[in-house]
Structure 1
């Protein structure tokens, strides 16, 4: 009787407003597909801008202020990100009006969605809402609409956001990741032991997956 190989546990620490988190996940997904790796993905919260006000900030202004980038450098970065997205089948739609938003409420909604087995679907929908559709993912009505689109109850979503029932849980989860030394995203942890940072590319992820398979 053949021994059943356990699914590879993959913990992904990311923020919805992190473009390389989208690209990195899609690269990993392609590598998992090509290597036929049985896996289970667990998403964890991280806030790139926990102090971002509710109204958000123009993205170009934010990047220039936070990183000291010039407009030319910001534009060049957008081109690189858009091209990387296209390579993995994701559309980045940057405009002069694209805004950076606070994601604390969105992370609370994601935590709630896990109870219904829809956390992964909601995560992908939030990525698309922010980067492709330029929707305000700090707005509770918008978040409730997105939740409904993936099969969650809209009124329950609004209630979760209104009473902040998962606020402390999310804060604790974020702190735990920081205590483990994670200061940037995406951060991918394989089998709770092997940490890989950044969007590595599908080929590099394939190599990592093959190395992990050989260690079993």
Structure 2
């Protein structure tokens, strides 16, 4: 099985899962598409994006074009358990990521949230992931990023809280370029759910903190307006 992460000629970024041997899973949707180019994503984050997107379809020995660190290999194994998964290309070079204290807040309900910023703290950016079936393109301001993606179609295949996976994957895909060190998900009080715990550990291996909050408490954190 191979995972690739490329910027296509049509302007879309594509994370693809490609079976290469008989018996490997062959899901109907094998691509996460994001409108706009994404540059410089290191191997650890590419692998975490794939795991969040494809769930249990990502299994067995996985080939990648860029290396994955030993820490990510262990975190990936724990996230996918009991499904076996093992990256082939393992090297400490997979940890080449940056974080400058920026926070990315997922606007899952398309409420028009805007990051509340001040000079005395890290930047706050909201991310609204719109369905590619009805929207196209990407719009980016200092406080808000809107992009079209097929994350909603991929999320429908999952159960329960795991439906958040593809949306988290889009957020993580932008994290390197935006120097993000924290992703906030206003999805209700689900911090004790097993999937959230595993996803938190997976993102921690990429240098990103995952924080889930109740939507009613989001404004109390002084992160967003709207």
Instruction: Compute the TM-score of the two structures, normalised by the length of structure 1.
Output: 0.24
Pick the structure with more strand per residue: 2
Report which of the two has the higher share of helix: 1
Higher relative contact order, structure no. (Cα contacts within 8 Å, ≥ 6 residues apart): 1
Give the number of the structure whose alpha-carbon radius of gyration is greater.
1
